[in-house]
Amino acid sequence: MKKTAVLFALLAPTAALAQEASLNLFTEINRPYSYMEGERLSGHAVDFMKEALARSGVMASMELTKWSRAITLAEQQDNTCVFTTARTEEREEKFQWVGPMYTSSEYLLQRVGSNTDVSSLEEALTKTIGTQAGDYTVQKLKKQGATNIDLAADQSMTLKKLKAGRLDYAIVWGNAAAAATESGELEVAMEASQTSVYLACSKTTDAVLIEKLDRAIHSIVDDGTRDAFMSKYDQ
């Protein structure tokens, strides 16, 4: 996949530029949260982060890449963050957490009309469930007792496997489930769990930037701007 980086300008006096480092922001293809529309980064999580940068006056580059790379860079590099990231027990001490941006459900998707013999989550967890390497859903599925987890490089590959009949289910979160079922080939089988998702920043990210972005993100949620962004992509 081609990597795409965009620089968002800092809306602040020149003097502030000398005092603050810019951020490196990473995200993944996860429609409708973040994806490429032609040559442009799109999605309501991308709009959310652009608004957070504008309100906070923080300069940042934004790049779409594989999730495994994004989460690794956010863990290891100074002034580096990844969105949208589930806050889990395993990740808690690895990042500074900004938000939350969303509270979301995870859903099991299936091919339309399949798995008619399954009537509960417990039964579904005995089937082959696809997700992506490095995603928080891997540990969630293991904790829930999943016995056959199939890993792919990204969510699009997992969904291709599901459509081809190589998986019983794929797990996705939030209204990404609605996007994945638009073609009519897939349907939501059941809700699997719930999680809050954040902007996750490296432990060495500047605390001043963290504080500014945290205030901006909370204001976007509180004043309804986030919901407006989401509604735009539901149309």
Same domain, 125 and 176: yes
Same domain, 153 and 221: no
pLDDT at 173: 85
Same domain, 132 and 98: no
Same domain, 11 and 120: no
Question: How many domains in the chain?
Answer: 2
Same domain, 74 and 120: no
Same domain, 108 and 190: yes
Same domain, 143 and 178: yes
Phi-psi domain of 35 (left: phi exceeds 0; alpha: psi -120 through 50; beta: other): beta
Which residues in the chain land under pLDDT 70? 1-21, 235
Same domain, 99 and 204: yes
Tell me the three state secondary structure of residue 96: strand
Tell me the per-residue pLDDT of 109-133, one tens digit each, with 9 for 90 and over.
999 999 999 999 999 999 999 999 9
Same domain, 182 and 226: no
Q: Which of 81, 72, 98 is closest to 198 using CA atoms?
A: 98
Same domain, 110 and 179: yes
E strand map for the chain: 4-8, 23-27, 35-37, 40-42, 60-64, 80-86, 95-111, 128-132, 148-152, 169-173, 186-202
Same domain, 125 and 159: yes
Tell me the three state secondary structure of residue 89: coil
Name the residue range of residue 46's domain.
4-103+197-234
Same domain, 182 and 130: yes
CATH code at 97?
A: 3.40.190.10
DSSP code at position 21: P
Give the type of residue at 85. T
